[in-house]
């Protein structure tokens, strides 16, 4: 019986989070409505407040879950600059197939004024920085952080500001954009290594 109750709780929370991610991604924090999330999820408002404490807590949980999926499920494989380019390509694929993370962080920047769930997100980002340094041992922590920031920004921009590349390039060619991001990330990684190994 207890196992069934735990499953029901997990399933209910997942339904609420799925609905919240959809609503917040499309309308932002200010535009999203709890009653709409309740309707989409099929869960009453009382359940939402019970599990997440309110709209702010729900937004934080939604953003944290999407970030966890993005960073935890996309390990850096191999070593050297080519491994960084490969990661950038897979992160682009993730952003393209699940645009909610890029859109949630876009709305957060516009509306919140501060990062929500900063501690948990910083920990996951630090773990990815460690992976970058494992692939590129010459890099300092600061250089690896800048490299991760650049890759995330490049990939998110394609989703959160889709009209910008369309205006500049005249085409929504996603494969061309993916190849460009991979090559750019690989070159930046190589440059960072060269700088780190340059005699002082």
DSSP 138: T
What's the pLDDT score for residue 2?
Answer: 42
Domain ranges across the chain: 60-197
Closest by CA to 43, choosing from 15, 63, 6, is 15
> What is the spatial distance between Cα 103 and Cα 67, in angstroms, rounded to a whole number?
12
Question: Quick check: 3 pLDDT over 90?
Answer: no
Q: What is the pTM of this model?
A: 0.85
Considering the domain 60-197, what is its CATH architecture?
A: Orthogonal Bundle (1.10)
Query: Which residue has 């944290």 as its token pair?
Result: 64
What value does the mean pLDDT take over residues 178-182? Answer: 95
Q: Look up residue 198 and give its two tokens.
A: 């340059």
pLDDT tens per residue across span 86-144? 999 999 999 998 888 899 988 888 888 788 878 888 888 999 999 999 999 999 999 99
Q: Residue 187: CB partners within 8 Å, gap ≥ 6?
A: 81
Query: 1: pLDDT confidence band, cut at 50, 70 and 90?
Result: very low
SS3 165: helix
Q: Which has the minimum average pLDDT: 56-60, 64-68, 80-84? A: 64-68
pLDDT tens per residue across span 97-108? 888 889 998 888
Buried b / exposed e along 151-183 (16+ C-beta atoms within 10 A): bbebbbbbbbeeeebeeeeeeeeeeebbebbbe
């Amino acid at each position: 019986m207890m196992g069934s109750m735990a499953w029901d709780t997990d399933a209910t929370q997942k339904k609420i989070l799925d609905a919240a991610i959809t609503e917040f991604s499309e309308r932002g924090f200010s535009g999203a409505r709890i009653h709409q999330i309740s309707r989409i999820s099929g869960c009453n408002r009382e359940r939402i407040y019970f599990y997440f404490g309110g709209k702010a807590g729900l937004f934080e949980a939604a953003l944290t879950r999407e970030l966890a999926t993005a960073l935890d499920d996309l390990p850096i494989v191999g070593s050297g600059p080519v491994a960084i380019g490969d990661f950038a390509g897979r992160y682009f694929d993730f952003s393209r197939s699940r645009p909610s993370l890029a859109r949630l962080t876009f709305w957060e920047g516009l509306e919140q004024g501060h990062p929500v769930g900063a501690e948990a997100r910083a920990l996951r980002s630090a773990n990815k920085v460690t992976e970058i340094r494992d692939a590129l041992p010459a890099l300092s922590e600061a250089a690896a952080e800048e490299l991760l920031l650049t890759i995330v920004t490049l990939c998110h921009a394609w989703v959160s500001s889709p009209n910008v590349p369309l205006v500049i390039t005249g085409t929504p060619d996603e494969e061309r954009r993916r190849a460009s991001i991979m090559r750019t990330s690989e070159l930046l990684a190589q440059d960072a290594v060269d700088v780190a190994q340059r005699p002082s």
